[in-house]
């Protein structure tokens, strides 16, 4: 398989190259910097000429650039390539769904969305009913520019949750989390909750926090500060590079996964998704319709709890 990786030398892209090479695939790093890119691609060009040229003989395009433009996916599909996007933006994913795509496009790829979708689907098979997703990311990890910008954009903004307007980083809920203990997490507009609520036909809500309690509290405060989304980037926050994603059913049944280095874990999931994408029918596919939890490779830095002994937390729902 030949994969073109947009943002190929970024935080996720460079790990993607390693993962695909381990499978024996060809991974072409694409970006604007000619000293680092194997294919010089400038996605800011009005006619996207460099991108069109780079699509020659490509089986799949993996978008790790952070650019959310449906035209990128459409051009890939029209060239005969499948398309995989690691975005977490629900409005962008909805715009992809409105396209008439001649090749497959897979979204909800990464940790959250992505691994969270697979955990939620596994819980739903056992319990049904409403599902809460808990996402804890490492505040100490050097996240890519696109991921950092996405998190800042949520500050002060709102999203629709089954007819209710919800401000990001508000409406806290308590969780009893492996390794972290009792933690307060806040609503955030990850795309997984929308696709899962539709496909599973039950309410699914995502709650977010950082491994640092102080950093999590700061998000909850800043979301009420005008223009906080435009605050300077690059602030060093306390924390580690450990992450945790958890799905909890209405009866307390819980599936979770954990590891270190969010960017590497995202790349691992994107790599196996890209390999699955090539054989799919045209149109937009969400990850929980493509992979199962059992498809996640073990022994590569992602640990998933045993389905035979799911964690049942103490009653911390209120």
**pLDDT confidence bin for 151, thresholds 50/70/90:** confident
CATH of 2-109+265-295, one of 3.40.50.720, 3.10.450.50, 3.30.70.20, 3.30.479.20: 3.40.50.720
**Separation between Cα atoms, residue 274 and residue 268, nearest integer Å:** 10
Q: Where in the chain is the domain with CATH 3.40.50.720?
A: 2-109+265-295
Q: What topology is assigned to 112-261+297-304 in CATH?
A: Dihydrodipicolinate Reductase; domain 2 (3.30.360)
For 209-222, how does the pLDDT look when each residue is reduced to its tens digit (9 = 90+)? 999 999 899 999 99
290-305 average pLDDT score: 89
Q: How far apart are CA 190 and CA 1, in angstroms?
A: 30
- 3-state SS assignment for residue 155: coil
The pLDDT value given to residue 315? 37
Average pLDDT of the segment spanning 71-79:
96
Give the pLDDT confidence score for residue 152 in this predicted structure: 82
pLDDT-derived band at 246, boundaries 50, 70, 90: very high
CATH 3.30.360 domain position(s) in the chain: 112-261+297-304
Mean pLDDT of 47-65: 96
Give the Cα separation of 191 and 196 in Å (integer): 9
Q: What is the pLDDT of residue 144?
A: 57
% of the chain with per-residue pLDDT over 70 = 92
Residue 231: C-alpha distances to residues 96, 126, 159, 198, 244 (Å): 30, 43, 21, 34, 27
| Predicted confidence (pLDDT) at residue 150 exceeds the cutoff of 90 | no
pLDDT, tens digit, for every residue of 38-52?
999 999 999 999 999
Cα→Cα distances 139→12, 47, 57, 129, 215, Å: 16, 38, 39, 32, 7
pLDDT higher than threshold 80 for residue 141: no
Instruction: Please report the pLDDT score of residue 235 as a whole number.
Output: 55
Per-residue CA distances from 29 to 7, 21, 110, 142, 250 (Å): 7, 12, 19, 20, 43
Four-CA torsion 217, 236, 240, 110, nearest 10 degrees: 80
Q: Which of 138-142, 154-158, 198-202, 229-233 has the lowest mean pLDDT?
A: 229-233
pLDDT tens digits, 186-245: 999 999 999 999 999 999 999 999 999 998 999 999 999 987 776 655 555 667 899 999
pLDDT tens sequence across 8-32: 999 999 999 999 999 999 999 999 9
């Amino acid at each position: 398989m030949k994969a073109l990786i947009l943002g190929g030398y970024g935080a996720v892209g460079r790990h993607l190259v390693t993962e695909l090479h381990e499978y024996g695939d060809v991974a072409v790093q694409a970006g604007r910097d000619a000293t680092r890119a194997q294919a010089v691609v400038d996605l800011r060009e009005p006619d996207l000429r460099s991108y069109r040229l780079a699509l020659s003989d490509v089986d799949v395009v993996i978008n790790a650039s952070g650019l959310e433009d449906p035209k990128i996916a459409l051009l890939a599909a029209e060239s005969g390539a499948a398309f995989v996007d690691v975005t977490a933006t629900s409005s962008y994913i909805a715009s992809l769904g409105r396209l008439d795509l001649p090749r497959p496009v897979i979204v909800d790829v990464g940790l959250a969305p992505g691994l969270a979708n697979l955990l939620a689907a596994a819980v739903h098979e056992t319990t049904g009913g409403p599902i809460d997703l808990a996402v804890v990311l490492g505040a100490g990890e050097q996240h890519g520019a696109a991921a950092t910008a996405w998190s800042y954009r949520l500050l002060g903004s709102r999203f629709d949750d089954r007819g209710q307007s919800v401000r990001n980083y508000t409406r806290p809920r308590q969780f009893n989390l492996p390794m972290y203990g009792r933690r307060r997490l806040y609503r955030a507009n990850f795309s997984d909750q929308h696709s899962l609520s539709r496909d599973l036909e039950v309410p699914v809500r995502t709650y977010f926090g950082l491994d640092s309690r102080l950093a999590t509290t700061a998000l909850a405060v800043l979301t009420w500060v005008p223009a906080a989304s435009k605050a300077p980037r690059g602030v060093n926050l306390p924390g580690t590079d450990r992450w945790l994603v958890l799905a909890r059913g209405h009866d307390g049944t819980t599936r979770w996964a954990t590891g270190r280095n969010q960017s590497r874990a995202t790349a691992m999931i994107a790599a196996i998704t890209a390999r699955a994408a090539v054989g799919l029918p045209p149109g937009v596919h969400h990850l929980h319709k493509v992979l199962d939890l059992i498809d996640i490779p073990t022994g590569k830095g992602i640990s998933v709890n045993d389905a035979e002994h799911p964690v049942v937390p103490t009653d911390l729902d209120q």
